[in-house]
Amino acid sequence: MEEILKLQQKIVPELIELLEKRYNILRTIYYNQPIGRRILANQLDMGERVVRTEINFLKAQNLISINTPGMTVTSEGELIIDKLKNFIHDIKGLSEIEKSIKKTLRLKNVIVVPGDIEEDKTVIKELGRAAANYMKNIIKDSDIIALTGGSTIKEAIDSLPRLSSLQNILVVPARGGMGRNVETQANTLAANLSKKVNGYYKMLHLPDNLSDIALETVLNEKDIKEVVESIKKAHILIYGIGRADEMSIKRGMNEEKVSKLIAKGALGEAFGCYFAKDGEVVYSSSSVLINADDARRIDIQIAVAGGKSKAEAIVATELNNSKGILITDEGAARKILEIIKKDE
């Protein structure tokens, strides 16, 4: 199969390009349905005439239907999307990229989905599905699952099917609240995940930017203590990765503190810890409830992050994480390879 793909790419590369284009159109419709032609063209950054031609083809093949609200994918189209997923993965050479990143960063596993979240917003859905597929195969009875907040982690939980056969699962937030978007905060996501895994959850009533003095007082509260103890006993940690410069501002640091952090070489942030290029933790936020040492003791650590602008942050955060599973997109993965080759 691999040999046939290489021959096709050499002799009829336009065939592969056309396949990828139609797959992307079909996938974008699926994740945004019902969707109009103009919005679809804008999302794909394609001319309306090109999109119209491809839509007519997909409709003729009974892969999409067109109604007053917009276009939707038929059941036959959904089947095609699912079957083409692995094929697209292979023709893009993503299996080799996964192996290379896994070996160089010394991770337990790497999963790369096609596309770049910064160029195609529907890729976040693919990241969520990939994370959900991995999660449903590793969660077992009596597990404690700790998770951080964020839109990517939300997609993973939303994509997870209900696992009603599981028993005695505890889900806890690994961070306090940040920002005003309640839907993507760790407390909310912990509650949502507990429903999916037939478990229960504990909430962490703690802002994410408390001062050291205030934090020390709050951590003596019985309810907070119980949650912190559960976090440290977790069997699975699910977290996102951010750029240090962006996350330090989001977490309310003043300009002087941000400058000092960047001067120390901080590139990536995960669960309140800031990592430099060599994987060293250069700073931990005051309200951090799980530090890097705690995290590395957890048996299964699933990091979900995409976009080429996060490549340096991912390398810094995940380097030498032997228990780490990285789920990322093609944009970030190809940029990570560039960074690896440059360092070599």
The total number of residues shown for the chain amounts to 344
Say if residue 26 is in the same domain as residue 108. no
| The last residue of a domain, from among 73, 91, 109 | 91
Say if residue 272 is in the same domain as residue 128. yes
Say if residue 276 is in the same domain as residue 202. yes
Say if residue 60 is in the same domain as residue 104. no
Q: What is the pTM of this model?
A: 0.86
Helix (H, G, I), strand (E, B) or coil at 203: coil
Say if residue 129 is in the same domain as residue 146. yes
Q: What mean pLDDT comes out for the span 57-68?
A: 92
Of 8, 29, 145, 42, which is closest to residue 80 (Cα–Cα)?
Answer: 29
Q: What is the CATH number of the domain that holds 86?
A: 1.10.10.10
**Rounded mean pLDDT of the chain?**
87
Say if residue 130 is in the same domain as residue 208. yes
Strands (E), 228-320: 236-240, 242-243, 266-270, 273-276, 281-284, 300-304
Say if residue 207 is in the same domain as residue 301. yes
Q: Which structural domain range is residue 10 located in?
A: 2-91
Q: Is 307 exposed, middle or buried (0-12, 13-18, 19+ CB in 10 A)?
A: buried
pLDDT digits (tens, 9 = 90+) for 27-48: 999 988 999 989 998 888 888 8
Hunting for tokens 């596993």 — which residue is that?
Answer: 109
Which of 25-34, 164-173, 213-222, 321-330 is the least confident region?
213-222
| The last residue of a domain, from among 48, 65, 91 | 91
Kindly compute the dihedral angle of the four CA atoms of residues 126, 128, 133, 139, in this order, to the nearest 10 degrees. 170
Q: What mean pLDDT comes out for the span 168-191?
A: 83
CA distances from 319 to 112, 132, 221, 286 (A): 17, 23, 35, 24
Other Cβ atoms less than 10 A from the Cβ of 151: the count is 14
Say if residue 37 is in the same domain as residue 166. no
Q: What mean pLDDT comes out for the span 119-148?
A: 93
When pLDDT is cut at 50, 70 and 90, the band that residue 218 belongs to is: low
pLDDT digits (tens, 9 = 90+) for 6-32: 666 677 777 778 888 899 899 999 988
pLDDT digits (tens, 9 = 90+) for 144-167: 999 998 999 999 999 999 998 999
